[in-house]
Amino acid sequence: MAEDRQVNRDILKTSLSLVFNASYAVFNLALAWIFQSEWYLMMAAFLAPLCIIRFRILIFWKKDGAAQDGHGILFFSGIILLLLDMQIAAIVYVSSIRQVTKGHGEIIMITVAAYTFTKLGFAIVRAVNARNDSRPIPRTIRCITYAEVAASLLSLQRSMIVSFGNENHEWALLMNIICGSTVCLFIAATGISMILYGRTNEIKNRRSK
């Protein structure tokens, strides 16, 4: 009974998170079209698969998720995250050669910042509240949330430089490369940890049956 209540709370939180992140993915897609920006197109392409993972998790939970093992989803999500990390690495490399981010108005910057810091706040609260939660599905959600926060912080940093500075300055290019590399390494480490944890525990569960 307690597990059912926990799953119902998880479903509600994941549903709200799905709507929130899907809206931001559409927002980035709109920015990519309006400003002809490859960077915002990349952000939309990064966020969309993570929304699909959340949708898959909702389906998983609604099919008696409290009694199911979700290590397979954790493993698969880690692979997806590594593929998306390659996408970010590619656009970071391209942006070191030519400008791919467009400047825009204050309202859009405020929207990007509001999403980023709201997401960061949720991630911190989730990490604190779930520090003792070793279930694979909540772990999956936490990991993809951390990846979203990292990518959003990188996007905000680049947008602020383009809007309020000059991306072609040497210091700006250096900052973009350092921040981009750090985010890529973080997301790669997160994806690898998901793969290793998911595969190891999946094998253990099979042996114990």
How far, CA to CA in Å, does 115 sit from each of 4, 81, 108? 31, 20, 11
Q: Which domain, by its residues, includes 71?
A: 2-208
pTM for the predicted model, two decimal places = 0.89
Nearest-angstrom CA–CA distance, 167 and 163: 9
Q: Which residues contact 181 (CB under 8 A, 6 or more apart)?
A: 92
Whether 50 and 17 have beta carbons less than 8 Å apart is answered as no
How many distinct structural domains can be found in the chain? 1
pLDDT mean by block of 10 residues, the chain; 209 residues: 71 91 94 86 94 92 67 93 94 76 73 91 88 84 95 88 67 84 96 94 74
Nearest-angstrom CA–CA distance, 98 and 40: 15
- The pLDDT score that the predictor gives to residue 102 is 60
Q: Which two tokens stand for residue 169?
A: 């300055």
- The pLDDT score that the predictor gives to residue 109 is 82
- The pLDDT score that the predictor gives to residue 169 is 66
CB neighbour class for 89 (10 Å; exposed up to 12, middle 13-18, buried from 19): middle
Helices 136-164 & 2-35, crossing angle to 10 degrees?
A: 20
Nearest-angstrom CA–CA distance, 149 and 167: 22
Nearest-angstrom CA–CA distance, 39 and 32: 7
Q: Which two tokens stand for residue 114?
A: 């509001």
Q: Which two tokens stand for residue 125?
A: 């609260």
Q: Which residues contact 28 (CB under 8 A, 6 or more apart)?
A: 40, 41, 43, 44, 47
Of 190, 20, 187, nearest in space to 92 by CA: 187
Amino acid at the residue 45: A
